[in-house]
Homo-oligomer: A and B are copies of this chain.
Amino acid sequence: MEIDQSPVQGKARPFSRARSLLEALPGKAKAEVIGFAKSVRKLGQDDPRRIIHSLKVGLALTVVSLIYYLRPLYKSFGEAGIWAVLTVVVIFEFTVGKLTGGTLSKSFNRGLATLLAGVLGLGAQYLASLSGEKGQPFVLGIFVFLLAAASTFTRFFPRIKARYDYGVLIFILTFSLVSVSGYRVEELVVLASQRLSTILVGAAICIVVSICICPVWAGENLHNSAASNMENLASYLEGFGGEYFQSGEGSNSDRSFLEGYKKVLNSKPTEDTMANLARWEPGHGRFGFRHPWKQYLKIGALSRQCAYQIEILNGYINSDNQVPLEFRCKIQESCTQISAECGKALKSLASAIKTMTIPSSANVHVENSKTAVKDLQISLKAVSLEHDQELLAILPGATVASILVEIVISVEKISESVHELSNLAHFKSVEPTVSPEKPQLLHRGAINPVLDGDSDHVVITIHETSTGLQENENPKAPKIGQRVEL
């Protein structure tokens, strides 16, 4: 527990004493203290909302303590004021509809469960009192046993576990306390109403502090995590071509972009929790009250699917099996193109989510990647195994190509589901600014740039000339002859 103590003492004691204490420490301990201070700073820098959250908890607790400090309030609330403090400590969490239960969800659960348990506790009291003074403890004991056992069992229902787990816990707690303590205290109704009102005060303080001072929303976290997941996948795919085809020579020394996708692999539980909590949050900022949070789960599942494919792909980057150069050269261009275009598609989907605009620029990249697949297929058709190339030798390369084709399908599905999200959540239709990377169209068509009157962007109309390229046609992708605004 020395970990708890150090920050506590460092703040509770005067700072000058802490400094002289630090100087008196032997070298190793000093280095440890400095290391600890650094890790504290890093933690705060990584996400400054953490510091704000800590201060918010302090504030809420200090405010609720007024109930005890100030005598007039004390008289009206009595010993039950303890429940307000308890409520704040147990309820207050990081996000508004939060990571482990939700301030609002817990308040709702706690309030309703306390009310229900209080009423039932009174009922149990009354029934027990009918059985005379001697029978009373036994009847109450039986009630507590039955109710606690039955309520605990309901916690195994997945639906109740997900939404009302905390409520059931508080229900058991309050029922036991009310029915048992009522055996002593006569004015049970007064006590129950006191307790409920103090809990409501505690919960109200939590909600006000949590929402009004730099709120952290689970829904916003979910929204951002969907975008950052896609960016992680995109970074990998954009860099994959270079890594795979130039393995050894001139490969980038900073390969951290190859690790990001691993975060996506295990993202499911966090996303499920956040989606559950987001439902408890009122409309805020860019998110309406009925924002389609469920759609994020669909996008998340598709992103993970893509991450699994990348995980397999990654196994081939450092593989010892060297594919013959001739075959590598044949697939290099189209494979690099596929991977890069998929990366770009995911990047622009991610930025569309971030800015909440219709992801129209992604369509171009999805189409480009599909065109690159056609190119790859043409290259593969040209491969013959006659020139002493064995299937066995080129197999790893062929597998990489095969998985890349699967990734294109995944990316197209992701694009579709983001389009669905943009429909459901009414994303704005904002014309993307011209970026130097994006207009790298692969459509084999005549491109006619047209200056669009008074606006400051260029409109390019594509008239597709080659046929058979639109095989897996995406209904939301730009149609042939459709105007693609850059």
Contact = CB atoms under 8 A, between A and B. Distances in A.
A61 to B, nearest CB: 5
A304 B54 CA distance: 36
A169 B88 CA distance: 11
Interface string A112-134: 11001000100110000000000
Interface string A263-283: 001101100000000000000
Given A140-B69, A144-B61, A120 B82 contact: no
A405 to B, nearest CB: 8
A116 B12 CA distance: 14
Nearest to A138: B69
Nearest to A172: B89
A8 B121 CA distance: 12
Given A62-B145, A169-B89, A386 B383 contact: no
Contact of A65 (B11, B116, B144, B398): B144
Nearest to A79: B79
Interface stretch (A153-161, A433-441, A476-484): A153-161
A188 to B, nearest CB: 14
Interface of A: 1, 3-5, 7-8, 11-12, 39-40, 43-44, 47, 50-51, 53-55, 57-59, 61-62, 65, 68-70, 74, 79, 82, 85-86, 89-90, 112-113, 116, 120, 123-124, 137, 140-141, 143-154, 156-157, 159-160, 164, 167-169, 171-173, 176-177, 180-181, 183-184, 265-266, 268-269, 304-305, 308-309, 311-312, 315, 377, 380-381, 383-386, 390-392, 394-396, 398-399, 401-403, 406
Which 9 pairs of residues, A with B, have the shortest CB-CB distance?
A58-B149, A385-B385, A399-B402, A58-B145, A54-B153, A54-B152, A57-B152, A58-B148, A89-B173
Given A54-B149, A69-B180, A391-B385, A312 B309 contact: yes
Given A54-B148, A69-B137, A86-B173, 17 more contacts: A3-B154, A3-B160, A4-B151, A4-B171, A11-B146, A11-B150, A43-B153, A43-B156, A61-B144, A62-B145, A85-B176, A89-B172, A266-B269, A309-B312, A315-B406, A380-B390, A384-B386
A391 B398 contact: yes
A176 B89 contact: yes
24 contacts: A1-B116, A1-B167, A3-B157, A3-B159, A4-B116, A4-B167, A7-B150, A7-B154, A11-B147, A12-B124, A12-B143, A43-B153, A51-B153, A54-B149, A58-B146, A61-B145, A62-B141, A68-B181, A266-B266, A269-B269, A383-B385, A384-B385, A385-B386, A399-B402
Given A152-B57, A266-B268, A312 B4 contact: no
A58 B154 contact: no
A225 B140 CA distance: 40
A389 to B, nearest CB: 9
A22 to B, nearest CB: 17
Residue of A86, A181, A402 ringed by the most chain B CB atoms within 10 A: A402
Contacts of A148: 54, 57-58, 61-62
Contacts of A169: 89-90
A155 B12 CA distance: 18
B90 A173 contact: yes
B381 A65 contact: no
A13 to B, nearest CB: 10
Contacts of A62: 141, 144-145, 148
A128 to B, nearest CB: 11
Given A386-B385, A396-B402, A85 B145 contact: no
Contacts of A57: 148-149, 152, 172
Nearest to A71: B184
Contacts of A43: 153, 156-157
A150 B396 contact: no
B82 A164 contact: no
B269 A147 contact: no
Contacts of A392: 377, 380-381
A445 B151 CA distance: 63
A108 to B, nearest CB: 10
A147 B79 CA distance: 23
Contacts of A146: 11-12, 58
Nearest to A309: B312
A450 B160 CA distance: 61
A269 B304 CA distance: 15
